[in-house]
A and B are shown apart, each in its own frame.
Chain A
Amino acid sequence: MSSNNYPKYSICIIIFLIISGFFSCKKFLDVTPPYVGTLDYAFRNRNEAENYLFTCYSALQSLGPADDPGFLTSGEIMYPAELGGLATRFQLISGNVQNLSNPLLNYWDFWSGSNGGGNLFMAIRRCNIMLENMDKPIDLSVSEKARWTAEVKFLKAYYIYYIARLYGPIPLYKTNFPIDASSETLQVRREPVDSVFNYVTQLLDESIVDLPEKINNPADELGRITKLIALCVKAEVLATAASPLFNGNPDYSDFKDLDGTQLFSTAFDPDKWVKASNACKEALDEAARQDKKLYEFIPNATITYLSDSLKLLLSLQNAVTEKWDINPELIWALNPVFPYQGYCLPRLYKENSGSENSKSAPGSFSVPISTTDLFYTNHGVPINEDKTWDYAGRLKLRTSDSAHAFYIRPNYPIPAMNFNREPRYYASIGFDGGYWFGDGVTDQNAMLSVQAQGEGSIAGPMDVVRTNITAIWPKKLVHYLSSYIKSSQYSEVQYRLPRIRLAGMYLLYAECLNEAGGPSSTVYDYIDRVRNRAGLKGVVQSWKDYSKNPSAPGSKEGLRKIIHHERENELCFEAQMGWDLRRWKEMPERLSSPLSGWNIRQNTPENFYKQVIQMVPVFTTRDYLWPISDAAMLTNKRNVQNPLW
């Protein structure tokens, strides 16, 4: 090599080095470091897995009243249509808002405008993911693993049950499809209703074995599923499956899959009621072991004196709003809290009107008169059956007397229909002229009362939002200590809305027994437990003494009607009736008359107490089951639409 060539080679070397740089850096493109979070990290240890367990619970806790057809479609509460959103969902029973292109409360497709529907199919997938990975957390104890598995199975069962109540037959995702499954395999058919309910029962049975009897650490875990909850849900599932909507419903005799599979059983099966009543019995036995009993109000220290009638009233009101941990009646409530107390509370202070706003306490959940008519007379029979109660004269104005000293303010003319009603009426309904124990005043001699006659009145209409369109409030859904005074903040005593409470279980048991075997002393006993707590005499005696139809409790059909009515009164506003009326197939009957309220802008009693129709509900057979959206029909060729949609 001559020295003259040396620089040339050097240049070649430089260039070679630079060029080789491009070929030698394969790792240049590996930019993702290890430990980039993937789903595997969710199951690395107990701590992470617990987070995923909560993920499974998440959908349950978002099933609030605003998404609950049981709350929105019962006709118990109305909400002005023009406010949109939530109000639109309250319009479901008007018969003209449900549609196929973008269904309301669409629980089937979660992505495309769910309109209030929850992500339950997604929740089912999450439960499956949790079940698939339950073995992975290295520090999860055997007992905790068993408990968590049971909880997730319960949740999966409950989600399936929730969707099935809406849609009837649904696809069952017992295990998850891999995400790269062909589109052909992802197009899953709907399973017949009976298979769906059987699968739900099977999952519940599997979960009941390992669920805890008691929550040992209520400070952190209250709200987690217990054995008792699962037993009660199982009873409810079986009762639903036995009910006329799902048990041999002739309306669906032609409802078939594309390959001809019958999606609803065609014949009524009485044995389903037997199974349901057995499940109720099993649940109630467990409840007894857990010392569950009907709630009775115990005054707190700040209340110096309380009359018996107010105490009874608070027992009934507070059975719903009492804190879960000290309410022996409460079996299962929805975490975290009921968010609409401000919507249920009438304005009780003059000072409220200036500074409250649409968000804190609009008081706009409006109870139609038909709902108030459901409550019995003080004799424990329906108002149109009570021989002693002037049904025809119920709109005549009168003033309070000593018998109603704790319920109705004196010298304030209101319709006679507010007098001589059962205590549950006064505990559940906030009406013009009625006393409102609480809201900052717990002295029974200084009780506030609702004054709602006309625009100038304290509780009267303020503007579009702060208006109760019937001038009747669902008092039961407000904790008596929740208050809104002057311009200070709305101080809410929060509570969880019960999903299952003992009184409901008693009535469910009674219903199932009556359906399975007709009237019996056990049936009467369980109804009467609920009635006695409400200050009413037993069903047989009440009907015998006061009803125009004294023999009704003696027949299966008569008693069925009584049990249904009892449930409507006892569980009023609690997001149960919308479901019950559907499974009983009583929706059209219940919604047969217009929903009306008082003439809210009038300020004399004579003009105010004129019934004004706010909505004429329309409910047809097709409305029993939810429509499946056009989009869902198109993406799955094995889908069949629900009947009549």
Chain B
Amino acid sequence: MAPEEKVISPCLRFKQKLKSFSMFKKQIFLLLSFMIAFVAGLQLVHAQATKIMVAGCVVDSLDNILIGVTVTSDRSQTTTDANGKFVLDINKGSMLKFSMVGFEQQSLSLDTMATDLVIKLMPSHNTMEQVVVTAFGKRQVKEAVVGSVSTINPEKLVTPSSNLTNALVGQVAGVIGFQQSGQPGLDNSNFFVRGATTFGYRQNPIILIDNIELSVDDLARLQVDDIASFSILKDASSTALYGARGANGIILVTTKRGLAGKARIDLRIDNVVSEATKMIELADPITYMETYNEAEHARPPFKPDFFTADKIYNTQKTLDHAPGSNPYIYPAVDWLDLLFKKRTNNLKATASVSGGGSNARYYVSGTYNVDNGNLKSSPFNDFNNNVQFKTYQLRGNTDINLTKTTILSLDLWGNFNEYSGPITSNASFSTDLYAQATHTSPVLFAPVYEPDAANQLTQHILFGNGADGDGGTGESLKYYNPYAEMLRGFKTFSTSTMQASLRLSQKLDFITEGLSFNGFFNANRYSYFDYQMAYNPFYYTVQLPSGYNKADNSYTLTWLNSAPGQATEYLVYTPGVKNASAKVHFQGDINYNRTFGNHKIDADLVGIRMQTVNANGNDPNTGQPSLPYALPYRNLNIAGKVNYTYKNRYILEHGFGYNGSERFAKDHRFGYFPTAGAAWIVSRENFWSGKLSEIISSFKLSATFGASGNDNIGAQRFFYLSDVNLQGGAPATFGTNNSYSRPGVTINNYPNPDITWEKAIGLNYRLEMTIAKQFDFIAEYWTVDKKNILLTRLVPQSTGLENNILANLGAAKSAGWDLTGNYNKAFHNGMILQVMSNFTFSQGRYTSYEEANYKEPYRYVNGSILGQPFGYIAERLFVDDQEAASSPTQAFGSGQVMGGDIKYRDLNHDGQITVADKAPIGYPATPQIAYGFGFSISHKGFDLSARFQGTARTSFFIDPASVSPFIVPSGLSGQTSLLKAFADDHWSPANQDLYALYPRMATNASLIANNLQPSTWWIRDGSYLRLKLAEFGYSMPNKLLKRMHLSKFRIYVSGTNLLNISGFKLWDVELGGNAFNYPLQRQFDLGFNLGL
């Protein structure tokens, strides 16, 4: 019993209560007034005029029912249900309008009640009448849009890949991207809006899903069937409302919502077979050994044959399965075949239910995806070590009409991912088994040994390996056994993202007509953890010659890692990273949209505040916990936009974003980003008539100019504060026994209060036209000046600064073209043909970059193309040692330069090859050109479509350090495999080809440092053209559907990455420099889509 409690008298307690009451009084009062207001709002009723009821059905030109057609009259509105039916009470004599994206609007006026109307909507050929989704998910008629917005029809995003980002590239003008890994869960494409136009920290677009800024992973996992609209905002004007976040473009996605009507069920199931687009080809074990010996002889110290004739002879016998051969003593291992299977199966299932009545509507969906990797399972193991990536997703979007003018929406979304895969040595989970399998010698040891006489009762797997010395106990292991790495255990991660949003939409016509308000609150939690379980494999070797009895072909195994604790039969658990983050987002938006005769005004004023807090406040530079990184990330944004249209012909637009970010000093915290734009619909002019208007049915010109920003300019947290580690980094120790230490102080960052936003000034010119009502053409030319790019200042190091000084000194200027051409034709026999094409070109240059005073003009980064790599210019291979000795000195590493090594051009003629001879070479890794084209044709229920995608003006380096045969690349402990192409075509004394594919070999990287330099020798054209997607489907005709009580049934087969045209043959060109990554996947899909 606590004695203190007695002391407090009841009177005092009451006083305390009173006090706390008064503290909360204000808040309670506030709450009450809110509630009163709310209830009162619900009772808001308007007087009624004379009403009549109309009902009917809406169909398209082929008499297919149309679902979701908006039917409006005055202030009442509804949409057609799953059977294409609608019912609406309207004022007598008022106009009834039917509208739907992709169809011409129809209207009629009615005086009497009608219950069996049949309205036929004709497909729209004038894309300008379509609706596009712009900033904050606002639906805007296309003709009123002044800025540059591209939309993708969500149906076009349906591909066998479960990763949405891989479906983006080539779909629309203005998106440039590439994919560099095919591993499930880690196969995101890297994409840019209008290319990489900055050399700053963040170059990718902001991704907004239902107005919430989310990660690329979230976009990747999004289900296409849940998407209602997909827009890409490209210029300053269209991103104006996002102000400081819009500089690199914005991807805007909204998810589907329920439509009034009876429950509508949609189900899609896909079974996907996945295989590598192209596997690398390795040389056979005999060639490997012979070439290895050749490489040993190629350079001093000229060593004798590493692989003896006896070894080669016996290995050949192993390959031939000759009698008396022994695959354990003379192994010939195809590691790729041992570890990986050719094909794997994936499953995708998604279902949704939507519907509702006049008071509430709902959209509920669930998804289950399983992506499998292509690792083989092993008879030795009980647990599955293959890569498996599972995704579960749930979404519920509900809209409730609280009053006739008030809609309350509650959206819930959960995304849960489970990954399981083999142990990897790096933290990124990217499977390095490919790298390991291709960096292990095929002939040095067997993956697993059959038990010898002594090990008959051994329970564990007898993995093969070798030891550093003579194989004594406690030695470090010499090789990497990828098979053991694959079998020894597994590593998993789980992520979950949960999100809830509440939105209140209120029409405020009672204040003034056309005014409305949208309030929005969102909370998002992300969590992550990983762990691994693995045993430590037992490694064995056969010591030759003593361990092998040739007479009876038996062997004796020697246990290599026999020191205590080195090998375990049981699993050891290792916990991993645990991470979480919390986001909160508030938003309020007032919209005023009204037409006065010829004048039309659409204005928005928006306020947003966002906060993100991360559970692990780790400094990304050091990986250590650091206080600043634990503080919340915040943004405050006030933005507005006015769009004025006169006579449906002339449109003026002005917008601004006023943004604050907590990362900058008080004086530089807020940035103001104004934009302006104008459009002229020329085809609405009176002179546009007759023949001209028949040929060119619509013609629109627009131009925008404006600023946008980027606050994500560096990994650094607060640029205006110094970041000092008062607890370490510069220790000293004193005392007789060195017992008194202090950790010292180090400076991680010097404060710079002037650091502020990266700013983009953009100009966009756009021309849109429709020719002969069938051909749509859009051309855009744009420029963007990026300023204030954060860069590291160039300071003489003798000043003794402890870290870099950063400043907003960088600038870059980019320009490009976005072209789109689409053709739509509906034939009289009902066949519909659509052809689409797009093209994007983007190129940027550094316009300001702090760098040294080079003597050689080509060394300046300033003025060079953004992203263009620097390297040496390789002329050819040296003819002989003499030429190598008499040429300009190429001193790289400790190796001597010899005949057959790469000869570099001495650009500055100083008689030596140094960093001063590096010049910009090739094209950037991010393609400067991306294009796509395709067609779809449908007739009598059958449809066929194909889509090609390509990139051009891009190049990459073959990474010589990781593909050079026999050497051990840094970070790996095995020797690189011999690519068949290199075995067939390399410089050797016997084949002194000065332009051979691979230069003179060696078995040690330090001897060929000369050849490992980035140079034109290794640069390759990265452009390609791909048949990205081909699909053939059949949809059941209406009559049959009705009989089966279905609204939709479609069955289809499709394939991705079916064909690739590229000049590069060694591996899939999109993988880029390193061949030994998880290969890109070709996928075949058999699926069906069913609607109830």
Contacts and interface: CB of A to CB of B under 8 A. Distances in A.
Contacts of A59: 730
A31 B631 contact: yes
Contact of B794 (A12, A180, A183): A183
Nearest to B894: A81
A122 B800 contact: yes
Which bucket holds chain A's interface residue count? 35 or more
A632 B798 contact: yes
B798 A170 contact: yes
Contact of A126 (B628, B718, B730): B730
Contact of B735 (A6, A97, A220): A220
Contacts, number: 241
Contact of B636 (A28, A112, A188, A463): A28
Contacts of B734: 57, 220-224, 335
A186 B745 CA distance: 24
A50 B742 contact: yes
B797 A112 contact: yes
Nearest to A159: B800
A177 B796 CA distance: 12
Contact of B627 (A37, A97, A337, A632): A37
B636 A22 contact: yes
A121 B798 contact: yes
A122 B801 contact: yes
Interface stretch (B2-10, B40-48, B874-882): B40-48
Interface string A1-18: 000001110111111001
B619 to A, nearest CB: 13
A39 B722 contact: yes
Interface string B615-657: 0000000000001100110101010000000000000000000
B797 A634 contact: no
B802 interface: yes
A54 B732 contact: yes
B495 to A, nearest CB: 26
Nearest to B301: A82
Given A10-B40, A11-B506, A634-B853, A188 B742 contact: no
B472 interface: yes
Given A18-B588, A36-B628, A335-B738, A125 B799 contact: yes
Interface in B461-512: 468-469, 472-474, 506, 508, 510-511
A110 interface: yes
Contacts of A173: 798-800
Contacts of A61: 731-733
Given A81-B894, A218-B735, A121 B726 contact: no
A37 B726 CA distance: 7
Contacts of B24: none
Interface in A435-467: 462-463
Contact of B37 (A13, A57, A119): A13
B506 A39 contact: no
Contacts of B724: 37-39, 41-42
B800 A32 contact: no
A463 B508 contact: no
Interface in A73-110: 81, 84, 97, 99-101, 108-110
A220 B741 CA distance: 9
Contacts of B739: 219-220
Contacts of B506: 11, 15
Contacts of B797: 108-112, 121, 632, 635
A51 B795 contact: no
A366 B34 CA distance: 86
A48 B473 CA distance: 49
Interface string A629-645: 01110111101000000
Interface in B733-761: 733-747, 750-752
A11 B43 CA distance: 12
A439 to B, nearest CB: 22
A60 B738 CA distance: 15
A21 interface: yes
A460 to B, nearest CB: 14
B631 A32 contact: yes
B590 interface: yes
A30 interface: yes
Interface size class of B (residues with CB under 8 A): 35 or more
B747 A14 contact: no
A55 interface: yes
Nearest to A109: B797
A630 B510 CA distance: 74
A325 interface: yes
Contacts of B894: 81, 97
B483 to A, nearest CB: 27
B805 interface: yes
A30 B732 contact: no
A336 interface: yes
Contact of B519 (A15, A221, A462): A15
B1034 interface: no
B1067 interface: no
B914 A183 contact: no
A125 B736 contact: no
B915 A101 contact: yes
B660 interface: yes
B457 interface: no
A51 B736 contact: no
B553 interface: no
B43 A355 contact: no
Given A51-B742, A171-B798, A173-B800, A22 B607 contact: yes
Nearest to B35: A10
Contacts of B628: 32, 36
B43 A179 contact: no
Interface in A407-449: none
Contacts of A33: 631
A161 interface: no
Contact of B800 (A48, A123, A222, A224): A123
Nearest to A61: B732
B600 interface: no
A37 B660 CA distance: 24
Contacts of B627: 36-37
A354 B752 CA distance: 58
Contacts of B284: none
A101 B872 CA distance: 15
Contacts of B852: 631, 634-635
Contacts of A325: 736
A449 to B, nearest CB: 25
B1090 interface: no
A610 B178 CA distance: 64
A375 interface: no
B632 A10 contact: no
B456 interface: no
A531 to B, nearest CB: 31
Interface string B18-59: 000000000000000110111011011000000000000000
28 contacts: A7-B41, A14-B34, A18-B588, A19-B588, A31-B632, A31-B634, A36-B628, A38-B722, A41-B724, A51-B745, A52-B744, A52-B745, A54-B743, A55-B742, A61-B732, A84-B1006, A171-B796, A173-B799, A176-B800, A186-B796, A219-B737, A219-B740, A220-B739, A223-B734, A355-B474, A463-B469, A631-B852, A632-B796
Given A12-B511, A179-B801, 17 more contacts: A6-B40, A15-B517, A18-B519, A22-B636, A29-B636, A32-B721, A41-B724, A42-B745, A58-B730, A122-B802, A126-B730, A173-B800, A179-B750, A186-B796, A630-B914, A632-B796, A635-B796
Nearest 8 CB-CB pairs, A to B?
Answer: A10-B37, A22-B607, A125-B800, A7-B40, A634-B852, A58-B730, A57-B732, A54-B732
Interface of A: 6-8, 10-15, 18-19, 21-23, 25, 28-33, 36-39, 41-42, 48, 50-55, 57-61, 81, 84, 97, 99-101, 108-112, 119, 121-126, 170-171, 173, 176-177, 179-180, 183, 186-188, 218-224, 323-325, 335-337, 354-355, 462-463, 630-632, 634-637, 639
